Amino acid sequence: MRILVVEDDVQIADMLTEALTNRQYIVDAAYDGENAWHWIENHEYDLMLLDITLPKMNGLLLCQKLRQNKCTIPVLMLTARDTIADKIIGLDAGADAYLVKPFNLDELMAQIRALLRRGGIGAKKNLAWGNLCLNPNTYEVYYSQELLRLTPKEYAVLELLVTNGRRVLSRPGIIERLWSVDESPTEEAVKTHIRTLRQKLRLAGAPSDFIETLHGLGYRMKKVD
């Protein structure tokens, strides 16, 4: 899941980015309202964390612009403004929830989970492909009952492949879905993750071509009976 953090305080933005990344979210950060609007126009997000006091376009105007353009992304406003009137203004502008700074990180994460559930992106069903089973809620992966020890990015790549099944995913497409804008990995990074995934799957008993390569096109899962 991809989250856009819109916060002009770089220290707070970095803290939020680190905390969310550690919880397996893909995170982009914008430091003013106009830049945030640019990211929204060019990328798909599951949630936005939005400060009100922003340069170029404040959070209230940005939220109103989102709703006027039929953008339904859940918005959680983070602000030092703590009066009832301020909260009403934020919610009327189109925010889905409102959290006052300084906030408790555990409370913030609970709010995020609640908003994602409300948008139908909360707890997910297990994914299966042949003898492979993934639990998107615990990030555990089993092949024929054997637990695979995957890094967060390896898990994300495998989940994306299994979700798409026989649909071919190109390396640039995988990068677009699984890496933040700031990371800018090369296609070699995707090849490396695919290679290590194949090694770990093979050690658990999967066929060597369980993840297929279509040369010049990308990757997909091997057809299962």
Give the domain CATH number at 53: 3.40.50.2300
Q: What pLDDT sits at residue 124?
A: 59
pLDDT tens series, the chain, 225 aa: 789 999 998 999 999 998 888 887 888 899 999 989 988 888 888 899 999 889 998 888 999 898 888 888 889 988 887 777 877 888 888 888 888 888 888 888 888 888 887 755 444 578 899 999 998 767 789 999 899 998 888 988 998 899 889 999 999 888 888 887 666 778 889 999 999 999 999 999 999 999 999 998 999 999 987
Q: Both 21 and 91 in a single domain?
A: yes
Residue 196, φ and ψ in degrees, nearest 5: -70, -35
The last residue of a domain, from among 84, 100, 118: 118
Q: What pLDDT sits at residue 148?
A: 93
Q: Both 148 and 175 in a single domain?
A: yes
pTM of the predicted structure, to 2 decimals:
0.62
Q: Both 145 and 97 in a single domain?
A: no
The CATH number given to whatever domain includes residue 140 is 1.10.10.10
Total domains in the fold of the chain: 2
Q: Both 40 and 131 in a single domain?
A: no
Q: Both 150 and 89 in a single domain?
A: no
Pairing of strands 2-6, 26-30: parallel
**What is the C-alpha to C-alpha distance for residues 130 and 223, in angstroms, rounded to an integer?**
9
Q: Both 113 and 135 in a single domain?
A: no
Rounded alpha-carbon distances, angstroms, from residue 95 to 5, 89, 110:
14, 9, 17
- Domain that residue 185 falls in: 127-221
Q: What pLDDT sits at residue 168?
A: 92
Q: Both 28 and 136 in a single domain?
A: no
Q: What pLDDT sits at residue 179?
A: 80
Q: What pLDDT sits at residue 181?
A: 67
Q: Both 184 and 144 in a single domain?
A: yes
The last residue of a domain, from among 118, 141, 176: 118
List the strands of the sheet with 47-51, edge to edge: 26-30, 2-6, 47-51, 75-79, 97-100
Q: What pLDDT sits at residue 209?
A: 92
Q: Both 80 and 171 in a single domain?
A: no
Residue 84, φ and ψ in degrees, nearest 5: -60, -40
Q: What pLDDT sits at residue 163?
A: 87
Q: Both 109 and 178 in a single domain?
A: no
The last residue of a domain, from among 118, 151, 178: 118
Q: Both 86 and 107 in a single domain?
A: yes
Q: Both 86 and 140 in a single domain?
A: no
